A = this chain, B = another copy of it.
Amino acid sequence: MAGVLSDGATERRARRMGYRRRGILDAAARVFADVGYERATLEGIGEAVGLSKTSLYYYVRSKEDLLARLLTEVTDEIGRQAAAGLPVDAPAGERLWAFVRAHVRVVCTTPAGRVLARNQDVVLGEASSRMMREARRRHERLLRSILAQGIGDGVFRPIDVRVGSSLILGALNVAGRWDSPEGAVAADRIAEELFTMVVGGIAAHPGEAAATGTGAADAQ
């Protein structure tokens, strides 16, 4: 894959670079999760990796870049986990469950996940902004495709997928704001609860409740 000559050295350096970058990203995630993006300082992050704040610039373009990379990475990681181990033609219900579980798990158990769940609204510059927006779009597209499939298959009601996907993401992200439960098991229980509500709603007798809602709307 790599060039023949500078191969060994380059790769080694790249990997070292990767290790460092990893450490930096992780440290940033922890700090961001702790005090929030705006209140976090590069010095603090540097301290957390054992590097001077200036050295950070060797690996990362800017503070915004740091956040953008972090969120992009974790977002895509969720997507990967959501698809892992599922046949391409898995039914929508199963795919949705996998998505929910992956999202909740990451959002509950990792610093980066908490950062993702909480920093939906930071205002960034053009470059970083685009990077993040695209990752988010990928994520939503995945969820929407699941919803669309379910609707096509007749297992989901014909809802507006854009509204639906937003609602679901908003609902799942609340988990990232709770005192993070330790371990995947606890996270999975939360995921189940959220999944059940999202899929089945809260009504005991869905048809009637929906009617009630409409009735109230009409009654206004």
Contact = CB atoms under 8 A, between A and B. Distances in A.
A91 interface: yes
A70 interface: no
A177 interface: yes
A39 interface: yes
A209 interface: yes
Contact of A200 (B96, B121, B178, B201): B201
A122 B118 CA distance: 9
Interface string A147-186: 1001000111101100110111111111101100000000
Instruction: Please indicate which of the listed interface residues A91, A198, A208 has the most CB atoms of chain B within 10 Å of its own CB.
Output: A198
A155 B203 contact: yes
A195 B167 CA distance: 10
30 contacts: A91-B212, A93-B209, A93-B216, A94-B215, A94-B219, A98-B216, A118-B121, A120-B177, A147-B202, A150-B202, A155-B205, A155-B208, A156-B203, A156-B204, A156-B209, A159-B197, A159-B202, A163-B190, A166-B175, A167-B174, A170-B170, A170-B174, A171-B171, A188-B217, A188-B220, A192-B213, A196-B213, A199-B206, A200-B201, A200-B206
Contacts of A154: 204
Nearest to A163: B193
Contacts of A166: 174-175, 177-178
Given A167-B174, A170-B174, A197-B164, A155 B212 contact: yes
Contacts of A159: 193, 196-197, 202
A217 B91 CA distance: 14
A199 B205 contact: no
A194 interface: yes
